[in-house]
Amino acid sequence: EWVTDSPFVISPRITFEGSVRLLGGLMALGYTIAAILKRNSHVFSDDRVIVKIDWLEQLNRQYIQ
d(CA 65, CA 53): 6
Residue 22: helix, strand or coil by DSSP? helix
State if pTM tops 0.85.
no
Which amino acid is located at 9 in the chain?
A: V
Q: Give the CA angle between residues 54, 58, 61 to the nearest 5°.
A: 45
Single-letter code of the amino acid located at 24: G
pLDDT tens, residue by residue, 3-61: 666 777 776 666 777 788 988 898 999 988 877 788 999 999 999 999 999 999 888 99
Q: CA 33 to CA 25: how far, in whole Å? A: 11
At a CB cut-off of 8 Å and minimum separation 6, what does 40 contact? 54, 55, 57
**pLDDT for 52:** 94
